[in-house]
Structure 1
Amino acid sequence: MALSEVDDPMTRALAAIKPVSSKTLVKYMRHVASKVGPRISTDMGNQFGLMFDGWASEDLLPRPSTHRQIVQLVTNLEALDSVCVRLQSEEGNLADVRLLFDAVIAKFPATAHHFSPSAQIVHSPAFESAVVKLLSDRSLISDEEEAVAQFAGPTDSAQETPKKVDFATETLRHAKRPRLATVTKYIDLLRMIPPTSNKCERFFSQCKLVFNPLRSSMLPANFEMLVFLRANRELWDSPLW
């Protein structure tokens, strides 16, 4: 029951006790709480738990419709968080990232502007698409072949010695040969391209921490040398600092 109920004339008419105002009641309740609280804390210790009723916590709890929206939002955030965690891994390639981005776009169409293969953040859409297709063993279109032409591997010059056949078979073989699609082999460097720049981002974050006021007078060339040596400290025997 709300404390303002004691100010209602009907409540006062039905009550057999002397009427009291809500302000006086609140004053007495605060006085009792200040006395009872320490006594309960002393007697019960850590075994005492606090319970709120509906009147005290109603304003802090969301409505059922809002609660359902929050649950759905948390579920979506968990899905996006799993993708973010996977992107921070050092393992994986461009094909894996493209697959994750396509799944995110299918689940959240609003992200297509940022995660699509033709987004503004993509420096070379044709090159990225070509690498993804090569990692997935799919054929390339002309623009994609042109984008990765510099990474084409050496062609195998060894040709099989043709067997001696009759005139009709030789004629048919030469006629069908132009129809066979030539498969271009590319060097394995394309498979080693990292999908994200996690190491670089961590490196720049470390630079912000290292470049404190004590090193503000250091020459940029010296600071650059030190931080790059620190980033490659696993290649050195003695620690830098």
Structure 2
Amino acid sequence: MSLDVRFLGRVDYAPTFQGMKDFALQRLPDEREQLWICEHSSVFTLGLAGKPEHVLSPGDVPVVQTDRGGQVTYHGPGQVVAYPLIDLKPRGIFVKEYVHRLEEAVIRTLAHFGVTGHRVGGAPGIYVRLDDPFSHAVLPQRPQRREPGCPAPQPDFTGLGKIAALGIKVSNHRAYHGVALNVAMDLEPFARINPCGYAGLQTVDLSTIGVSVAWDEAAHELAAQLQRLLQIQNSSF
């Protein structure tokens, strides 16, 4: 069963946040799951663990407290935001696997445009090499297997720029919030925060690494990848 994809266009963050929360937590049993694709007017959002001191100088950009995981991030025009409103239980997956699939959808979307996306150990999201975004060389900072009880690694962002951020909320198996891919943005507002709580973390988009892609094209590709990775195999659901 595939998701019901809805392209919302440019929408304000606060009513969208309330709408997806209402859908995810109050959805009737016969309602299809949905994937919302949109872009937002400029806004900083703080996750549940978000520390106000990571918002350095918001200026005229509003700051909204949310119930997703993670710290602070920025949404604005030129960014594709995807909100899968799904139930993890019939998929037989838990949060860690769900995050992996969201990241994989971004990696495959970037690959469609010739860009190599990378994961970094200890830091959710997708990153690209600043010196060669098209290199397939293995990233030294990639996640690696840890022995039980070993602490998570300290993220190393040397030579990297963050091109996609994610933050989710799962309640009673139902997930909302999602992932944001930077396509062609004004990146200046990212300098007003510590992105995802990391001081000095550089944020990039496809346009700054030399890839010219229309918002609609990136949005449809990301939606298609999410549909493939999040569809329910058991059609009886």
TM range (shorter): under 0.3
Q: Name whichever structure is richer in helix by fraction.
A: 1
Larger Rg: 1
Higher relative contact order (CA 8 A, sep 6+): 2
Q: Name whichever structure is richer in strand by fraction.
A: 2
TM-score, L = length of structure 1: 0.19
TM-score, L = length of structure 2: 0.19
